[in-house]
Structure 1
Amino acid sequence: MKTEAHRTGQRGDETEPTRQRILLAARKEFAAFGLAGARIDRIARDASASKERLYAYYRKKEELFSAVLELNLLEFAHAVEPGDDAGLPEFAGALYDHQVQFPEHLRMIDWARLEGEEMVAPSIEIVEEFHSEQARRIVAMQSAGAVDPAWDPEHLSALIFGLVTCWLHEPSSALVPHAVPAAAAISARRASVVRAVQRLIEPSP
């Protein structure tokens, strides 16, 4: 997945500054309000562009939403791409760091799930390729004896993502408006994620 798009976070036809400003403004708007609540006039204003200019790039709001979702997924896939020697606990730690730094990426995924297949379809290939790579890595680790071979690689990958993102959907955390955990809490949660994955993958005696 080491394409130019992954290195820059841009699609090949999205290098024009005005288009980039529109995408960045739309990323903020959609993460906060979703597709239905987002306002094109706010996006255009925040991007210092006219609505006419915005519609010249993206014919409808759904098209712009899909472009932002795809950009987020490309950036995510590149940011957490593990090194050859990285184990699953270290990978989980990198995932946790990324979702703390960019919570809007997961919010966009949640909004896309609510909006339905039209929003997800343009980006599903990115997701499938990313998960296929993770499954291949898990199989290799199982063959090397570093991961319990009883796990289905797809299931283990999903469980790791669930552990990493659990606080975003855990009610006592998710339903507190504008709650920002302290640095010590973030560090403790990260350590718990890494420890949980370590225990999860330990081969049975």
Structure 2
Amino acid sequence: MTRGTRREPAPAAEERLRDADRSQGTILAAARDEFALFGLGGARMDRIAERAGLNKRLIYYYFEDKEKLFQAVLEQSYRDIREAEQQLNLQELTPADALRRLVEFTWSYYLEHPEFLTLLNSANLHRARHLQESRRARELNSPLIELLAQILERGRKDGSFRGGVDPVQLYISIAGLSYFYLSNNHTLSAIFGRDLMAAKARQERLSHMCDVILGYVLRD
């Protein structure tokens, strides 16, 4: 070590990193709620700072501006759902059970995290430019598609699934069957005169989605 220089003690440096991680996590959670309520255009950094209980300058220090913060929130939202999916251990289930479990999980996750759907709505209003600029978001989603491809291949090999199923198209269908229903439940309920969020209606929807997805991939 050069004479006259002082190295920060390792415990102190680690504590500073933990503080930084905690601060960024707090900011991301506050920003997620703000963007979910007001969208990118209506969100205000002052309110995010107030929600987080932190100085607004600290938000700019970590995330530069509102656009970068929105991108970071989207990345974290995808990280959260992908990490939750990893806990399903789909590779340990039979192909049919793995697909059913993924459909059930997607439906439950969207129900329990409505902010995820509103964030996606906001991202789409801005033509997903924040995701297009994010290599991290693509890296987070690739493993799921690879796993789904493996499940489809296992099913094809054991004779339970038909071949030629595109894992990307299949996942879009799984997500879309939940997303459209939940994002439009108010208008759909009004149009059809049914409470589509009643417990019985939600269970019927889940059963329908499982039948649709499995009916598409299973061999006759």
Q: Choose from 200, 204, 207 the match for 1:188.
A: 204
1-side partners of 2:140 and 2:190: how far apart?
A: 30
Q: How does 1:11-90 map to 2 (within 5 A)?
A: 16-81=21-86, 82-83=88-89, 84-85=92-93, 86-90=97-101
Name 1:93's counterpart in structure 2: 104
Q: How does 1:103-122 map to 2 (within 5 A)?
A: 103-120=114-131, 121-122=133-134
Gaps of 5+ in 1: 1-11
Contact 1:139/1:153 (<8 A) preserved: no
Q: Deviations over 1:115-144 (max 9, x none)?
A: 235410321221233223222322222222
2-side partners of 1:182 and 1:144: how far apart?
A: 39
Q: Does 1:136 align with 2:166?
A: no
1-side partners of 2:29 and 2:196: how far apart?
A: 22
Deviation at 1:45, TM superposition (A): 0.4
- Which protein is bigger by CA-based radius of gyration? 2
2-side partners of 1:14 and 1:67: how far apart?
A: 18
Counterpart of 1:160, as a letter, is: I
Counterpart of 2:140, as a letter, is: I
Q: Choose from 174, 177, 183 the match for 1:163.
A: 177
Aligned residues: 191
Higher relative contact order (CA 8 A, sep 6+): 1
CA RMSD in angstroms, aligned pairs only = 2.6
SS of the residue 2:64 aligns to: coil
Name 2:8's counterpart in structure 1: none
Counterpart of 1:89, as a letter, is: R
Q: Pick the structure with more helix per residue.
A: 2
Contact 2:145/2:167 (<8 A) preserved: no
Contact 1:80/1:98 (<8 A) preserved: no
* Distance change in 2, residues 1:124/1:111 (3 Å): farther
Counterpart of 1:106, as a letter, is: L
Contact 1:92/1:193 (<8 A) preserved: yes
Q: Structure 1 residues 55-64 or 74-83, which shifts more? A: 74-83
Contact 1:99/1:165 (<8 A) preserved: yes
Name 1:3's counterpart in structure 2: none
Name 1:102's counterpart in structure 2: 113
Identity %: 27
1-side partners of 2:149 and 2:72: how far apart?
A: 26
Name 1:198's counterpart in structure 2: 214
Gaps of 5+ in 2: 1-16
